[in-house]
Amino acid sequence: MDVVDPDTSLLATGFHTDGFAVVDRLVSPELIDPLRERFERLFRGGFETGVPPDEINWQEGLADPTLTRQICNAWKADRLVATVVLSARLGESLARLAGWPGARIIQDNLLWKPPGARSVGFHRDNAYLAWYRPQQMATCWIALDQTSSETGTVSFVQGSHRWATDGDPAMEFHAPADYRAPMEEAAAAEGVRPEIVPVEVPAGGGSFHHGWTWHGSDVNRSNVHRRVLVLHCASSEARFHRPGFGVGNGPIYSRYAHSDDDVMDEAHFPVLWTASGHRTSGLDSLTDPL
């Protein structure tokens, strides 16, 4: 079982012009069912490694069943998830698309939108990241179910990564009253009419997107589940930025900061790939547990 090696030369135009690029195949078909099973286990609170994820925003029996389910940094809790999101191939793809010398993982997301689950508000990833520099993120989004507008797939606003990057409206991630409102306010400030593009791909397909691209997702109006595994990376040269520790998701991840320097410890933010050949020690020994 394997992660597909995307041809970034074919994706670069879309990524830089539109702010995103859609791919029909990112993981092999043999990985789909095992990853779905891991979603079941993780959202029930079963952590294979004994290490909990950094964020658990939904647990079976405890949370609102109408919310989109979310876990962040499940790679720490499950080896199969780790083999995908710590892939050198995906790290290299994100680094090359973003123009970085290498890529390190900041966060993975497990997102599960069952039938009837409410929206995820439009937002820009970089807006949450004042706690490190450069304040940049590039993301790989992997569908584990066939997606469509009806299932509440992620939708990107074409070219929105080129909009102003300061003074964004307040963004609400989980089930806002109007999931498009902040994006439409930003579009009005730009004097543009937003062109919204849903990512409709088969299971195993997905997308890459720029950290300033506006994106969100509507209600799942279908009778099928929509599960997604997401990899968020920063430059391999990223460093902590202490003035931003209290901003965005800084309070969660700044707890891994050293007291005497700004280094992002590779134990918590592994380097997946660099052009110079560096990769965090131990990642190449990750084995498929199946």
- Provide block-wise average pLDDT over 10 residues at a time, the chain (290 residues): 80 96 96 97 96 94 92 97 96 98 98 97 96 98 98 98 90 93 97 98 98 98 98 98 94 96 98 98 73
Separation between Cα atoms, residue 272 and residue 252, nearest integer Å:
21
Separation between Cα atoms, residue 280 and residue 104, nearest integer Å:
9
Confidence (pTM): 0.95
**The two three-digit tokens of residue 37, written as one number:** 């099973």
pLDDT of residue 252: 96
**The two three-digit tokens of residue 61, written as one number:** 């029996």
Nearest to residue 84, comparing CAs of 248, 243, 287, 236?
A: 287
3-state secondary structure the chain: CCECCCCHHHHHHHHHHHCEEEECCCECHHHHHHHHHHHHHHHCCCCCCCCCCCEECCCCCCCCCCCCEEEECHHHCCHHHHHHHCCHHHHHHHHHHHCCCEEEEEEEEEEEECCCCCCEEEECHHHHCCCEECCCCEEEEEECCCCCHHHCCEEEECCHHHCCCCCCCCCCCECCCCCCHHHHHHHHHHCCCCCEEECCCCCCCEEEEECCCCEEECCCCCCCCEEEEEEEEEECCCEECHHHCCCCCHHHHHHHCCCCCCCCCCCCCCEEEECCCCCCCCHHHCCCCC
pLDDT of residue 289: 46
CB of 53 within 8 A of CB of 231? no
Question: Mind listing the domains of the chain with CATH numbers?
Answer: 8-285 (2.60.120.620)
Separation between Cα atoms, residue 84 and residue 81, nearest integer Å:
5
pLDDT of residue 285: 84
